[in-house]
Structure 1
Amino acid sequence: MLYLFCFIDRTNIGNARLVGFEKDLGLKGYDYNAVLSYFYISYILFEIPANMLCKWMGPGWFLPICTIGFGISSLAYAYVKDIHSAAGVRFLLGAFEAGLLPGLAYYLSRWYRRSELVFRLSLYIVAAPLAGAFGGLLASGILKMTSVAGLRTWRMIFFIEGIVTIGVGIIALFTMTDRPGSARWLSEEEKDLAISRLKSERVGVTEVLDRIDKPKLLRGMFCPITLATSWIFLLINITVQGLSIFAPTIIRTIYPKHTVISQQLHTVPLYIAGAVLTVAISFASWKYDRRTLFMLISGPLIVIGYVMFLATNNPQVRFGATFLIAGGAFPFGALCNAHVSANVVSDTARSSAIATNVMMGNLGGLISTWSFLPRDAPNFPIGNGLNLASSTLVVITAAAMLVWMKFDNKKRENVDVSSKLAGLSQKQIQDMDWRHPAFRWKL
């Protein structure tokens, strides 16, 4: 629920655009793209500090407070008057949302083993495409109303969705539990079992929740798998974030003669396709305990979709292509965050690895805000060409990463673990993290 409304509050600006957002605020030229960019600037700046704060405060407090914050920001959007206030509120929205995606991934990693994590991540990341579907339906329903609290048209969307988000955040403040050890609804035996399950697969670690320290922090950020996966997440978010913000605009280019409500509703089925494949692919990834393989299955769907989109102006073919694009792109949220989590050891390294991955992903989001420019309308060949190139690079990078991981695992098989650890203190062994000679990359 938290991530559903996080994504709705992020993307409802795309729905507002269809009903006079730009005209009412006097936005011209590239002003709309600039307003979108302010969100990603704050998101990127606060990403890693937010996840460190999440670990320090505890997710049970941090995540609901973030939700209330971006709910208030969404509510404030109902009252913006010009580009300056719109950009300022958008910056605040990004600052509050920065901690949620990595914070939730880190939170769930406190409960589930590495092979189990990807499917559990998908059960909240599926809220991203569902937010697109639900957001389109909700916006269509809101726009049928005459006014709310003296507000009309697009301002009603921000007001109502902001109020609901604040309510969800307040409920979470009283219901979320930090970790298995503090869960009132678990018995002592169940708490011990939950902690033992996590500890059993962490090489060289004696505690599940460690203190924040610099060596482990840097191990998570600069792990080669974190860097490679973060590059993939950057590339894929050019598509995911671009689709989320510009889907109503893209549908308008396919069906220009349809009513605004019809255009809003046409975004719903492609998001449902994205939601179904997010859960299905993540479930298969969990059962086979493979993440890179399913990146190589999902990536080509996006490539094919953009080839179809660029190759024809036929509305039916283009609309069908959006299903392939959404279905291939949305599963990467769960796959990439689970992959970086699986390939570090300590709690601190995991929190910084996930934060680095999401920060890089939002660099892709920043790029996406400039991928569909007014001068490129109505068919946006530059924006669609950029997405074709980035999705092709995703497939190439995932293939190269898989080959390297297999090669390095074979190399580690020949290392004498005892001699490598001889003379090292327990602290030095723990700080090795993924450099520990007994550690193996999870494919």
Structure 2
Amino acid sequence: MDRTFSSDIEKTSEKASIHDLELAAQPGVVLAASGARHVAVIDEAAEARLRRKFDVRLLPVVAAIYLFCFIDRANIGNAKIAGLEKDLGMSGLDYNVLLCVFYISYTVFELPLQLVTKKFGPGKTLPIFTLLFGLFSLVMGFVKNYGQAIGVRFLLGIAEGAIFPGLAFYLSRFYRKDELGFRLSCYLVCTPAAGAFGGLLASGLLKIDSIGPYRSWRCIFIVEGLITMAIGLIAWFLMPDRPEACKWLTDEERALAEVRIKSENVGQSQAIDTLRKKAVLQGIFAPSTLVVAVIFMFNNITVQGVGFLYVLSPTIVKTIYPNETTINLQLRTVPPYVVGAFVVLLTGYLSFKTRKRALYMVVCAPFVTIGYSLYISSMDPQVRYAAAFMVATGSFAFGALTTAWAAANVTSDSARAAAIGTVIMFGNCGGLISTWTFLPKDGPRYLPGNSFNLAGSVVMLVLTAGLWTWQVRENRAKENGRDDHYLVSKTEEEIQLLGTKNPHFRYSV
């Protein structure tokens, strides 16, 4: 069966341009007329084979990078209950400050490093930053005082600032808009999986009393840091920068991969453009980008609070099961993460099949609301543990869906890099906020933090529904010709910079 979709070279005239003919000349592609528009027809079987190659070759490497980078980021929660605070002389709000420092550098450097990734290519920069991330995690196992820990966490935040948005941007060079969400979920599932696997790994490492002079909590950083460094080194040889650099593709498959992405970059003459300031600004300030960024910010307040501070962290599980051993507390954090991981994959797959993102965000948000309502209303341990499952079910799916939604609603590689970087930068502002939502003085009920996250879940739902409605109205207005005048007397270069104003662009909900 053939799959038909609007190409980026659709014209208001029925006459095909030179670029139309170049597109039609690619293997497996036929240019067909559809009213006043030209569309590219791609052999669906060839496209499916190509997609499977990307899945097998790229996703395992990307998932491994993200899994251990997230473990290295969140393992401080495991180290906390294993003696980190006592050994470093920490007290009061020192732990919150330690978390906060990470997010300050993460947030400040994220967008600039995303542009660096765009300029030099994610296939080169991501393995380097993964290696650095593992190195800084390793060094964390050797810190002797609180000041050194602060410095290392700051450096860790810089390295992480390139990885999360860079991985999403990297996959956007290989997958179409409707395919991207599920592929993002295939590695973002490592957020809850990292909680589960990290808890299991930490449990095993804590059974080791020491390695030489280093106590068990230091072993967590040392072992996990070494693993991440190894993954970074391996990734250098396994991550091609773009489809045309994939030696394991045939010439026909490389051409098809180029056409697939080019066809969705409305108004663009190439799949991967040079870094352009106007395109970057379009990606940052697009209405869809900004609204999705705020949604992800509120979601990340919950997700990061889940891992580091409260909902599923060993610290709060200890308040539910005060008589359990440290190792059993680690294991108690695993089941909610497993449920969260399943929901991430399920919503990602459904978004791929139905070509929708907003729908599943609207479905997931109420679970977060219910979870925090239970935390506020009850101190019963079983109810609060059930609430942990509700929060995990509703919150983890947003990472893939919001990133894919932002990436789908821009029109060039430069704009996509900027849009993804902006959304994730806002998300990490949420992470920064999360470090102050659950303070020691508010335990064990943590009413301020739970109330704040309850309100945030409502904001997420309202903004998602509102943006969805706005995009549908915008598409209807474009169909009625509202933006046709933007093409009048425009040069090819000016058309490329129209962005979402191009009358052939349609918002993807």
What band does the TM-score fall into relative to the shorter chain? over 0.9
Matches within 5 A, 1:28-427: 28-246=91-309, 247-415=313-481, 419-427=485-493
> 1:20 is matched with which residue?
83
Residues 227-276 of structure 1: per-residue CA shift (max 9 Å, x gap): 00000000000000110112111211111121111111100111111100
**Per the alignment, do residues 366 and 417 of structure 1 end up closer, same or farther by CA in structure 2, a change over 3 Å counting?**
closer
Deviations 1:108-146 (A, max 9, x none): 000011011000000010111111000000000001012
How far, CA to CA, are the matches of 1:174 and 1:99 in structure 2? 19
Q: 1:306, 1:388 within 8 Å by CA — same for their partners in 2?
A: yes
Using the alignment, how far apart are the partners of 1:212 and 1:221 within structure 2? 14
**Residue identity in the other structure for 1:29:** G
Output the amino acid matched with 1:410.
R
Distance 2:482 2:216 in 1: 68
How many angstroms apart in 2 are the aligned matches of 1:418 and 1:268? 54
Asked if the contact 2:173–2:242 (Cα under 8 Å) also holds between the matched residues in 1, the reply is: yes
Give the Cα–Cα distance (whole angstroms) in 1 for the partners of residues 286 and 378 of structure 2: 42
For 1:423 and 1:318, how far apart are their aligned partners in 2? 63
2:332 partner amino acid: H
Checking the alignment, whether the CA contact within 8 Å between 1:242 and 1:369 is kept in structure 2 is yes
Please give the secondary structure, in 1, of the residue aligned with 2:497. Answer: helix
Q: Deviations over 1:157-181 (max 9, x none)?
A: 1111111111111111111111110
What SS does the aligned partner of 1:99 have?
helix
More helix by share: 1
Q: Per-residue CA shift, 1:281-301, capped at 9, x if unaligned?
A: 111111111111111001011
1:341-398 CA-partner distances (Å, limit 9, x unpaired): 0000100000000000000000000000111101001121111111111111101111
CA distance in 2 between partners of 1:15 and 1:392 (Å): 30
Q: Distance in 2 between matches of 1:419 and 1:147?
A: 71
The AA in structure 2 aligned to 1:88 is: G
CA-CA distance at 1:150 after TM superposition: 2.7
Q: Does the 8 Å CA contact 2:483/2:501 hold for their aligned counterparts?
A: no
Higher mean displacement: 51-60 or 66-75: 51-60
TM-score between the two structures when normalised by the length of structure 2? 0.86
SS at match of 1:205: coil
Offset of residue 417 of structure 1: 5.6
Distance 2:297 2:416 in 1: 19
1:415: how far off? 1.9
Once the two structures are superposed, what CA deviation does each residue of 1:53-103 show, in whole Å capped at 9, x if it has no partner? Answer: 111121111111011101011011111122211111000000001011110
User: How far does residue 414 in structure 1 lie from its aligned partner after superposition?
Assistant: 1.9
The alignment-based identity, stated in percent, is: 48
Unaligned runs of 5+ in 1: none
1:428 maps to 494
Whether contact under 8 Å (1:3, 1:127) holds in the other structure is yes
Q: 1:414 to 1:124 in 2, by over 3 A?
A: same
- CA–CA separation in structure 1 for the residues paired with 2:67 and 2:320: 27
Question: Which whole-Å deviations, capped at 9, do the CAs of 1:172-222 have from their partners, x for residues lacking one?
Answer: 111111111000000000000111111122211110010001110000000
- The offset of 1:149, in angstroms, is 4.1
Larger relative CO (CA 8 A, sep 6+): 1 or 2?
Answer: 1
Please give the root-mean-square deviation of Cα atoms over the aligned residues, in Å.
1.0
AA in 2 matched with 1:14: G
The 2-side partners of 1:57 and 1:75 are apart by: 27
Distance in structure 2 (CA, Å) of the matches to 1:435 and 1:148: 60
For residue 300 of structure 1, give the secondary structure of its aligned residue in structure 2.
helix
Find the aligned partners of 1:93 and 1:366 in 2 and give their Cα distance. Answer: 14
Unaligned segments of structure 2, at least 5 residues? 1-63
Q: Which moved more, 1:255-264 or 1:236-245?
A: 255-264
Which has the larger Rg? Answer: 2
Number of equivalences: 443
Instruction: Report the Cα distance in structure 1 between the residues aligned to 2:486 and 2:434, rounded to whole angstroms.
Output: 46
Letter in structure 2 aligned against 1:212: L
Distance 2:484 2:286 in 1: 23
| CA positional deviation for 1:418 | 5.1
**Contact 1:253–1:379 (CA under 8 A) maintained in structure 2:** no
Q: Does 1:439 align with 2:439?
A: no
Runs of 4+ residues over 3 Å off in structure 1? 416-419
Q: 2:335 & 2:460 partners in 1: Cα distance? A: 25
Q: What's the TM-score, normalizing by structure 1? A: 0.98
